Each structure stands twice: as structure tokens, then as C-alpha cells.
Amino acid sequence: MLKRTSIRRKLAVTLTLLSVVFCLLVSAVIFALGAYNSLALELAQHSREVQRASDLHITAYKLIGSFGSKLGSAKSAEEHGLLPSKLSELPSGLLIELGWDFELCGTAFETHLDTCCGLSKSQSTNLLMPEVERGGRLAEIKNQFHAFKQLEPFSSEVNYSSGYNPEKKAQIEKSLRSLLGKSETYAKATHQAFTAYSDQLRGQARFWRNVACACAVATVILVVTFFCLFTSYIAKPFRTLIDGSRLVAGGEFDHRIDLGTEDELNELAQAMNRMTDRFQSTLKKLNATCEGLDREVKERTRELIQNEQLASVGFLAAGVAHEINNPLATIAMSSEVLQSRLSDLAMLPVEQRVFDAELQHELPKNLRRIEDEAYRCKGITEKLLDFSRLSEVQRAPTDIVDVVNEVVDMVGQLGEFRCKKLTTHARQAVVVEVNPQEIRQVILNLVTNALESVDADGAVDVYVNMHGGQVTVIVEDTGCGMDTETQQHLFEPFFTRRRDGTGTGLGLSISYRIVSKHGGSLYANSEGPGCGSKMVLTLPCVASDKKNKTGSPVVFGMKNESYQAAG
């Protein structure tokens, strides 16, 4: 439930509960201070009440004690020459010394009695005993004291020689003892009430102490609970969010923040996760784009270098072929003339021949070898001229399937390839705008190279497909395959790996230039030596408006890559 509650509500509830707890604590403190003040005032009043009751009892005890000494003090007064009428004029200390403090004790008793009665009349005084009980006890003491005063025990007409008469003395003593008993009873009742009050206070103190302890424990538990809840549902998610943000900022883009709540912090964490996902996706795209650009730059650089090399070779081939072709023709014709003369000499009789039999046998063979090699060099120069004189492409709608079938039929008739399996795979006619003669030359070169790379029981398959506005011709064989180095240099001029060692290394270079001028691509793929090879020719169905002049470097975009080596 708390996990689904918003932080605003959590904070509001927490602050409300803390405010309630604070108000309760403040109210408790104020109540405790007020109760303590009232208790102190009430305790002071009860202490005065107990003191007044004790003073009243003590004064009554002194009163009955001083009555016995009053009679004996009459002689002492006569010995000092004092008259009863003058006793009141003496200081109290002297009267006490003379034993005449009975009158002072009576006055003090009456004063204490009036004070105790005055406490009952006060509206601001809390008394130990109920008002009725206390008033009744004080009324009895007051009535008894009034009856005691009616006996005139303090009268100055006392016979100092004989004291009180026995009857009056007995009445006074009886009245004093009754007064002492009532005062003692009142004092004991007051002390008992104070003792009960003290017990009550101790019980209340224990109760309120227990309540205070329970409140303190509850407050501590509540505060600890609030602290734990705040730590679990607010502080900890904040810390997790901050730590997760620091990890993401540090480069750990795979890190995701999971708070386990459904509040605003979780919404912020999910937003952070979505932002990290988008950033990670953008970073992957950027890295992929950078890798693609790097690869494209390397490929374009390699293509530019290769095109420059091809252009340079083309210019060089034009000059070399032009300068060498005539001497080669002269050599070939001279060899033919010498062979003709040797044939004429061979018709003469033996004794007229200039050469011996052995020389006459070796010389024609060497001359024929010179002639063959001269014509072979002439063929190479013609290929070089073809390589350098690639003119502007003259395109026409051509069915590539027909071209492939013609090449396959022609090659299949050659004796050296009859034992090898050559198969064409084409579902329908595929018409493109190309130069049919040049494309036929390219396909012928690819097919013958594939057939030369396979053994007698090998197979070559030619696939023709059209997809997305492009035609793809795949020549796949089960021959010797290619390593990585061979694939990288396969289309370079004069590079050859023919097993018989008779190749010039110009066939694929010329094919490469033809395909490039058509705006297509040609690349090789092989998983390694002995695993066969696959040559992929791609041509656009519609001719491009761009026209490249013969001998100029050819630069292609992403859709017209002229060479790719895979595997």
C-alpha cells in the first residue's frame, strides 16, 4: 500500500503525525507543569492544615499543663509582692517563669482555633477532610472551648492562698481534658487524612509515571517507525536513484534503476531508464554509423587506390602495347620467313644442305617456339589495349538469362570442360540495360575461371536472380577456393593464381572495369582454400545517367560497390 502512495501524500501524512505527536508532547508538558503547580500549592495548604491541627493540639496540651501550675504560682506572686490586677502588665516571659502562662495558652488556643476555622471558610483552600466532617469537629472543639471559658478559668479573682475551690477546679480540669481529647482527635484525623492523601499522591505518581513511561516508549517507537519508513520509502529510493544516475553518468549504460515503488521517484527512475535506453540506442546507432563510415572510408580508399592503379596501368598498357606490338609482329613474321626458308632447304639433296641433320631438326622447332611466344605476347598486348581502351558503355535492353545460356552452351562444347558439371539456375527472363558484348565477356571470364578451378568431378552453378531493381549473377564452384590474400588482390592487374601458370592476370581486371562502368559491383567470396569460391555480379536494371570516360578513375557510392571480399 505504501509503495503505491505518492511521496506528497507520504510527506503530508508523516508531517501530520509528527505534528500531532509534537502537540501531544507539548500538551503533556503543559498539563504536567500545571498539575505540578496545583499539587505543590495543594501540598503546601495541606501542610499548613496539618501544622494548624498540630499547633491546636499542642496548645491544648500546654493549656492543661499550665492549669496545674497556675495554683502553685500564686504563692510565688505573693512572695514578689504582685497583685493579680497587675499580672497582666508583666511581660510574658516573666509570667512563664512565674508559672502564670495559663492565660497566654488560652489566648493562643483560641487564636489557633480561629485560624483552623478560618481555613474552612476560605474558598481557595483544599482541605484534607470533607467540609462537613471538619466543620463538625471544629464546632465541637469550639463549643467545648466556649463551655470551658464559661467556667471563668482565667478570672483574676482567684484566692492565691487557697486557689480554686475544689468543685470548680474539677469542672475546669474535666473541661480541659475534654478539650484536649477533642483537639487530639481532630489532630489525629488530620494526620490520618494527610497520610491517606500522601498514599493517594504516591499512587497517582506511580500511575502517571507509568503513563509517562508508556508515552515515552510509544513516542520512541513512533519516531523509530517514522524514521524506518522515511529511510525505506524516501531516503533509500533517493540514494538508489542518485547511485544509479552516477553509474549511468560513469558510462555503465546497461544499468537500470529499479526502486520497487509506484511514486514520483519511481516515475523519475523509469524516465531515467527510458532516457538511458534511448541514449544507449543512439550510441549503438552512432557506433554502427561510425564503424560503417570507417569501413566505407577504408573501402573507398582501397577502391580509389585500385582505380588509380587501374588507370595508371591503362595508360601504361596503351603505351607499352603500342610500342611492343610492332616489334612483336616483326619477330613473328621473321620467324615465319625463316621457317619458310628452312622448308625450302629441306627439299634440297642431302649433300647440298648447309645444316646438318641435327641442326635442321632443332632449328624449326625453336623458330616455331619464337613464333608462338611472339603471338602470345601479341595477345597480351591486345588485352592490354582492350583494358586501356574501354570506351563509353553503349547499353541496350538485354536478357541476362540468354547471355548466360549462350556462354554456358559455348563453354560446355570445349573439350577440356566437357567432363565438368556446369548448371544454370534461372526462373524467368531478366532484362537489363547493358552492353551485351561486354557483359558476355565478363560472364565468360567468370565461368571459365570457375571451371578451371575445379577438378574433373567438380561442379559449377550459375544463378540469375532479380531483386529490388538489381540483377545478380552468382557463379559458384566447388574448386580450390581462395585465401584472404587472394581475395584482397583478386582484381588487381597481372595478379593470377591459375594452377597451370598460364594466366596473365588481366581477365578479372578487365571484367572489374567493365562492371564498374556499368554501375554495378563484382566481389568474391570464399571460406578458404579447398572450400570452393563464389563470384557475385550485380548490375542495375536501369542504366545510370552518369557516364564515365575511358581511362578515368571510377568512384562509386554505397549502392555501386565495385569490389567486396568476404569470408
Angle between helices 357-388 and 507-517 (to 10 degrees): 20
State residue 489's pLDDT score: 73
- Are 128 and 86 in a shared domain? yes
- Are 410 and 359 in a shared domain? no
Does residue 6 sit within a domain? Answer: no
CATH number, domain at 57? 1.20.120
- Are 62 and 175 in a shared domain? yes
- Domain of residue 341: give its range: 291-380
| 200/191 Cα distance (integer angstroms) | 14
Torsion angles phi and psi, residue 454, rounded to 5: -100, 160
Torsion angles phi and psi, residue 180, rounded to 5: -65, -40
Distances (CA, A) of 250 to 241, 256, 273, 525, 533: 14, 13, 15, 42, 48
Does residue 7 sit within a domain? Answer: no
Distances (CA, A) of 558 to 215, 511, 520, 562: 81, 20, 11, 10
Does residue 449 sit within a domain? Answer: yes
Q: Which of 186, 207, 228 is the last residue of a domain?
A: 207
Using alpha carbons only, give the angle 87, 88, 91 rounded to the nearest 5 degrees: 90
- Are 112 and 137 in a shared domain? yes
Angle between helices 7-79 and 264-346 (to 10 degrees): 150
* 3 state DSSP class of 469: coil
Q: Which of 159, 176, 207 is the last residue of a domain?
A: 207
State residue 505's pLDDT score: 67
Residues contacting residue 161 through CB under 8 Å, at least 6 positions apart: 74, 75, 78
- Are 187 and 51 in a shared domain? yes
- Are 203 and 67 in a shared domain? yes
- Are 464 and 535 in a shared domain? yes
Q: How many CA atoms lie within 13 A of 514 on its CB side?
A: 24
| 145/118 Cα distance (integer angstroms) | 16
- Are 411 and 366 in a shared domain? no
Does residue 285 sit within a domain? Answer: no
- Please, are residues 462 and 427 in contact by the beta-carbon 8 Å criterion? no
Domains of the chain: total? 3
Residues contacting residue 498 through CB under 8 Å, at least 6 positions apart: 452
pLDDT in tens, the chain (567 residues): 666 677 777 778 878 888 888 888 888 888 888 888 888 888 888 888 888 888 888 888 888 877 766 655 544 544 444 444 444 454 544 444 444 567 788 888 888 888 888 776 654 556 777 877 888 888 888 888 888 888 777 664 444 444 557 787 788 888 888 888 888 888 898 898 888 888 888 888 888 888 888 888 888 888 888 888 778 777 788 888 888 888 888 888 788 888 777 777 778 888 888 888 888 888 888 988 998 888 888 877 877 776 666 666 666 666 666 667 667 777 877 777 777 777 776 676 666 656 666 666 677 777 777 877 777 777 767 666 665 555 556 778 888 888 888 888 888 777 677 677 888 888 788 888 888 888 888 888 888 888 888 887 788 899 998 887 889 999 988 888 888 777 777 777 766 766 555 566 677 877 887 888 888 888 888 888 888 888 899 988 876 544 433 333 333 333 333 333 333
- Return the CA Rg of the chain: 69
CATH number, domain at 535? 3.30.565.10
Q: Which of 346, 380, 414 is the last residue of a domain?
A: 380
Using alpha carbons only, give the angle 440, 443, 447 rounded to the nearest 5 degrees: 135
- Are 374 and 470 in a shared domain? no
546 grid coordinates: 552518369
- Please, are residues 434 and 518 in contact by the beta-carbon 8 Å criterion? yes
Using alpha carbons only, give the angle 189, 195, 196 rounded to the nearest 5 degrees: 90
| 310/77 Cα distance (integer angstroms) | 165
Shortest CA distance to 112 belongs to which of 190, 51, 165, 30? 51
Torsion of CA 223, 226, 227, 230, to 10 degrees: -160
- Are 328 and 476 in a shared domain? no
Torsion angles phi and psi, residue 463, rounded to 5: -115, 135
State residue 205's pLDDT score: 85
State residue 547's pLDDT score: 41
